[in-house]
Amino acid sequence: MRVLGRPLAEYMPALGLLAVSVAYLVVALGYKPDSRAVPVAVAGTIIVLLLLDLISRSETRIGRSLLALLNPAALTDQKPVAASAGRQVAAVLWILGFTAGLVVLGILTAAPLYVFAALHLKGRRSIPVALAAAAVALLAMWLLFAVALRLPLYAGLFAA
């Protein structure tokens, strides 16, 4: 079955994530006002990005224009090389590891560690570059959430 010029299967990952994100947003809207600020912002951002992704996948004039604007490399004649099952599993494990780090260590510890690990181990950047990026990420999160928005950030399972 084709939808807007593409097989329906090409839309399924984004549609699945969209359903999960909308459910997450609905749950977050039930939180107390102080607790829902970040989850609602994250869910809203993800929903907007997924809608852009869905539109850019279509074989419509708007879809092609959006694809050219957001991902011009996708318009080349080269067919993308499918990632091996091992690489796909590794990508999922990185996300699961980051999620576990958030739960156990908290946001201000896990996020900079993830930035460092991703840049150094996967991006093959030098340790000083990866440390600098992690420090900038930490500072930006702290300034935005703790200072500007005065929102307490989750400190992890072992926080005192």
Pairing mode of beta strands 6-7, 2-3: antiparallel
Report pLDDT for 55.
93
CB 139 within 8 A of CB 151: no
**For the residues of 60-84, what is the DSSP string, one character each?**
SHHHHHHHHHH-GGGGSSSPPPPPP
Report pLDDT for 80.
59
CB 73 within 8 A of CB 120: no
Report pLDDT for 9.
87
Q: Which residues of 146-158 are buried (b: 16+ CB within 10 A; e: fewer)?
A: eeeeeeebeebee
pLDDT in tens, the chain (160 residues): 888 888 888 889 999 999 999 999 999 999 998 888 888 989 999 999 999 999 998 989 999 899 888 887 777 766 656 778 888 899 899 999 999 999 999 999 999 999 999 999 999 999 999 999 999 999 999 998 889 888 888 899 987 6
Report pLDDT for 160.
61
CB 44 within 8 A of CB 50: no
pTM for the predicted model, two decimal places? 0.57
Report pLDDT for 78.
64
Q: Which amino acid is at 95?
A: I
CB 101 within 8 A of CB 114: yes
Structure tokens given for 10? 């090409």
